[in-house]
Structure 1
Amino acid sequence: MSMKEDGLLIASALSDVQINVHGVHFRLKKKLLVAKSAKLAKLLEKNQHEDISHLLPDIPGDSQTFELAAKFFYGHELNLSAENVIPLACLAHYLEMTDDFSPNNLYDRCLSFMEQWVFPSWNESIKAFQSTELVIRQALELGLINSCLDSIVSKAISKPDLLGKPIKNPMDGDSGDGKNGYYPSARRRLYVPDWKQDQLITLTLQHYLFVMTAMIHKGIQSEYITGCLLRYLEKWVYCVVGGVGLPLHKKREVIEQVEKLLPDERELVPFKYLSEMLRSAITLQASLDCRNRLEIRMGKKLNEATVVDLLIPSQGYAREEKYDTECIGRIVKSFYANYNSSDSAELVGVTELIEEFLSEVASDVALKKDTFISLAEMAIATSLGIQRNTDGIYRAIDIYLGKHGYLTETEREEVCRVLDCHKMSQEAREHARQNERLPLRVVVQVLYVGHLQLRDAIANGDMLDSYGRCQRVEGGENAVVGVDRDNHSQGTAASEEELLRAEMKDMDDRVMELEKECCRMRIEMEKSGGGSHSVVKKKGSMWKQLKRKFGCIRNSMHECNCQVKKKKVHPKNCA
């Protein structure tokens, strides 16, 4: 076989040594080899008439690297570059092509080229480091890996934005003129740099971990480390525009390793990035430790989340529910386990967030009753110690009952058991009075609570706030709820009070009659078995008549969509 390139011709007629390098055969002149390589000189001296390929089993580099060495043997000009100089240096050292054996030899020329043209440059240092993939063991032994790392890290220490801009936290507003979610650098440029921000993230995972571990060890600012790590995920895991696809097991390894390197500072990684990481970790079936650590990180920053951030899809064929509610439960627990601030604003924000999340998942037709109740109890627990009404809980219950019209009366009562009617606002209680989705028992309770609060307000001279609690006003028993004494006369106040007392008495009678009617309907249902369609239809009709009778439904609502009337038994019982 012969080799020809750039005017180089090594003909078999003139060559007397054959070397096989990774499946490619080279026939070279013995005289030229022994003049430059001490190793080949020793081998050829002992094996003058044999193929010595089997004596070079672990030759570093590939066939292209050996082809460059062959050019050097024949005295042709070398085209050294950052991409080929380290593999060629490893090969030259393996073949003992040093100045100790022959002046101006290949190994020393490679070292000189790296010192002059590679290590002074950020980009060239990264290219050279990336080229060590096939010769990483030899490069480590020769110290070339450390030389590349020292070059890269030293430049990053003096100019950390070589790693790219820090990630901008959306909670901090739109300060600065950064694009794509990155902060602009405030550091003045002292020179025109020879670098690209995305050069570092082109490294393979093994090489990238080498660099980032060294940078963390040297104490480079955490915000730059974080930004670089997240951009690496975008390129290799999320496959954004211009990204590179990887096999799933490789993506899983990337996300696990990047999560380990993320700094622990709470403020560095925005919640939306953590949420995206957790989604990917779940999809890629990352290790349990990785997912647990991500949930803990998210828990510490839960006050920054939006409802969309919490809508993590369920995984697995056995999961019927649309969203992973168990995961959110663990994140909420993590928030409270790590919360130590004296400012209640974060608690209020998290409470509102969980209530919004509850309303969002309530529309999932596959959400089980017990799961919804558990989430509702968690939402209520987050509001403990905070002056907050239960309107958000009521809204979620209303949505859930609307999407799960097949629930029986008993099951709907179980769902509503988490609702504290005493903490509902007047507007919510007014809505509940006319809500045909609610069980009769709950409507009675709402009416009764409204009656009690109205009676107490009149008796004590108080007025109700939006939480359904009493606030005292001046005037004692002569005061009237909602009446501005500065704008009304005493006679008008007395007249209003009489009207309110009359309304209170009328409500007493209506509540008592409603309770009796509710009990009578229960007895009828129990006698009839409670399972036939006729009973369901009759009950729906009685429910409408009952509500209309007590003023809980207006004539304009006759055409409203009544969930109770539509369906009263489980689908599994309708077969």
Structure 2
Amino acid sequence: MDYFVKTLAGIKAKGVRPDLIGSIIAHYASKWLPDLSADHHPATDRGLTIFAESPESVTTLWMKKRFFVETLVAILPPEKDSVPCVFLLRLLRIANMVGVEPTYRAELEKRISWQLDQASLEELMIPSFSHTCGTLLDVELIIRLVGMFVNLDEVAKSGAALIKVAKLVDSYLAEASVDSNLNFSEFVALAGALPSHARATDDGLYRAIDTYLKAHPGVSKQERKVLFRLIDSRKLSHEASLHAAQNERLPVRAVIEVLFCEQTKLNRQMDWSGSFSGTRSPYLGFEAPTRCLSKREMCGQQIEVRKLREDVHRLQSQCYAMQMQMERLSEKKKGFFRWKFENVMPSSILKSNNLSVVDKIDKSNEGEGEVGCGIQTPEDLKTKLVRGKKKNPRWRKSIS
């Protein structure tokens, strides 16, 4: 180890990039301590470590491991992302197991918090090596890591990193909730460590709370209310809302709130679909605050928009076909009854510019001896037409 530290100091003096220095340290550590290797299998280890075949006592071996880990932490490059987060989490697991000094442990936790969005759920499942802790997992460690990550400045953490950490915390809570010894205060502290805008959807948090209630049937009614206050009902998906509405482990007030939010979403969707026809929704101004939609919700909305457009095009084509059919029928009727109106309203009357159409009809009715208002009804016109045809001698001659 002393020669490695001196060699690494000479490499740093040459101006080698920090990420290359970190890869050298990770490769050296995985060779001498197989627990830090990604493909580590305890059954296949054959003396690759300096601690495996030593004839010394177990206490001496653990002290050597502690010195090895503390030396590795001391020579890590100070730059961010110089060492993978997976390697740091494995190093922290061994550091907690062998009991390194608190200063080295704090340094490791600080470096992990910088890159917590790069961690995986498997590496976060660090067991608790403390005799005072009743849980199998070190939940207090994860609470500290998430707290330090949230307290980072906005430049060090991005919105995407915050969303990744939120998903990671929800998955960790779902796994840790199975432990019946998990304290209620620890669960609430870890679930509420992240801000509300970190979760695009609360389905993962709801699953973790439901798992906790299954494993802890003795939770009081007041504690159930506290747990459900951690969830935003507006961020639950349709499947999660249906499950929550039928969940007997939730308080009645929580179920009512979920149903109300689902009804509000349904009204909003109906209002949104009705906006294509120009209608105004009565719920305008009372909708829930907008939020960032997930990819699943965006795909669902795009499918609904596509279906609505297809329906609109289909209705337009049907209306156009009906309109063409009505025009053809009107043309047929006009051609069939054209002979009835040729003797009633000649074209010479319609082409005159001095009198109106009504006055011209009145003038044509003068001297007929008809009693009326001057405008003949269709029945009168029909009777007049029939009488005129009866007085035509050529019509009688043709009949005879």
TM-score, with structure 2 as normaliser: 0.61
* Candidates 56, 76, 79, aligned match of 1:262: 76
The reply to whether residue 344 of structure 1 matches residue 156 of structure 2 is: no
Query: What's the CA shift for 1:279?
Result: 0.4
Q: Could you say what secondary structure the match of 1:476 adopts?
A: coil
* Structure 2 counterpart of 1:277: 91
Q: Could you say what secondary structure the match of 2:192 adopts?
A: helix
Q: CA RMSD in A?
A: 3.1
The reply to whether residue 333 of structure 1 matches residue 147 of structure 2 is: yes
Q: How does 1:119-518 map to 2 (within 5 A)?
A: 205-238=1-34, 241=45, 242-245=48-51, 247-336=61-150, 337=152, 339-340=154-155, 344-379=159-194, 381=195, 383-384=196-197, 388-455=200-267, 458=270, 461-462=271-272, 475-477=278-280, 484-488=307-311
Q: Which amino acid is 2:66 matched to? A: R
Q: Could you say what secondary structure the match of 1:316 adopts?
A: coil
Query: What's the CA shift for 1:225?
Result: 3.1
Q: Is the 8 A contact 2:221 2:251 kept in 1?
A: yes
Q: Could you say what secondary structure the match of 1:370 adopts?
A: helix
Q: Could you say what secondary structure the match of 2:130 adopts?
A: coil
Q: Deviations over 1:477-521 (max 9, x none)?
A: 47999695445589x9xxxxxxxxxxxxxxxxxxxxxxxxxxxxx
Q: Is the 8 A contact 2:80 2:111 kept in 1?
A: yes
Q: Distance in 1 between matches of 2:199 and 2:169?
A: 16
Structure 1 residues 288 and 342: alpha-carbon distance in aligned structure 2, compared to 1, 3 A threshold: closer
Which of structures 1 and 2 has the larger relative contact order (alpha carbons within 8 angstroms, sep 6+)? 2
Structure 1 residues 479 and 418: alpha-carbon distance in aligned structure 2, compared to 1, 3 A threshold: closer
Q: Which amino acid is 1:373 matched to? A: V
Q: Is the 8 A contact 2:85 2:119 kept in 1?
A: yes
Query: What's the CA shift for 1:318?
Result: 1.4
The structure where helix makes up a greater share of residues is: 2
Q: Distance in 2 between matches of 1:335 and 1:349?
A: 12
TM-score, with structure 1 as normaliser: 0.43
Q: Could you tell me the percent identity over the aligned residues?
A: 29
Q: Deviations over 1:441-483 (max 9, x none)?
A: 211221232234434555xx136xxxxxxx9765334799969
Q: Distance in 1 between matches of 2:112 and 2:19?
A: 18
Structure 1 residues 434 and 215: alpha-carbon distance in aligned structure 2, compared to 1, 3 A threshold: same
Structure 1 residues 473 and 268: alpha-carbon distance in aligned structure 2, compared to 1, 3 A threshold: farther
Query: What's the CA shift for 1:212?
Result: 2.7
Structure 1 residues 272 and 433: alpha-carbon distance in aligned structure 2, compared to 1, 3 A threshold: same
Query: What's the CA shift for 1:426?
Result: 2.1
Q: Could you say what secondary structure the match of 1:374 adopts?
A: helix
Q: Deviations over 1:326-348 (max 9, x none)?
A: 22222223334155168532222
Q: Distance in 1 between matches of 2:77 and 2:259?
A: 54
Q: Distance in 2 between matches of 1:275 and 1:349?
A: 17
Q: Which amino acid is 1:475 matched to? A: G
* Structure 2 counterpart of 1:468: none
Q: Is the 8 A contact 1:252 1:284 kept in 2?
A: yes
Q: Deviations over 1:86-145 (max 9, x none)?
A: xxxxxxxxxxxxxxxxxxxxxxxxxxxxxxxxxxxxxxxxxxxxxxxxxxxxxxxxxxxx
Q: Which amino acid is 2:143 matched to? A: G
Compare CA radii of gyration and give the structure with the larger one.
2
Structure 1 residues 210 and 429: alpha-carbon distance in aligned structure 2, compared to 1, 3 A threshold: same
Q: Which runs of 5+ in 2 are unaligned?
A: 55-60, 284-300, 316-400
Q: Deviations over 1:242-286 (max 9, x none)?
A: 222171111111111111111123222111100000001111111
* Structure 1 counterpart of 2:287: none
Q: Deviations over 1:209-265 (max 9, x none)?
A: 333334333434434432332233334444663222171111111111111111123
Structure 1 residues 437 and 387: alpha-carbon distance in aligned structure 2, compared to 1, 3 A threshold: closer
Q: Is the 8 A contact 1:272 1:309 kept in 2?
A: yes
Q: Is the 8 A contact 1:473 1:479 kept in 2?
A: no
- Size of the aligned set, in residue pairs, is 275
Query: What's the CA shift for 1:407?
Result: 1.9
Query: What's the CA shift for 1:359?
Result: 1.8
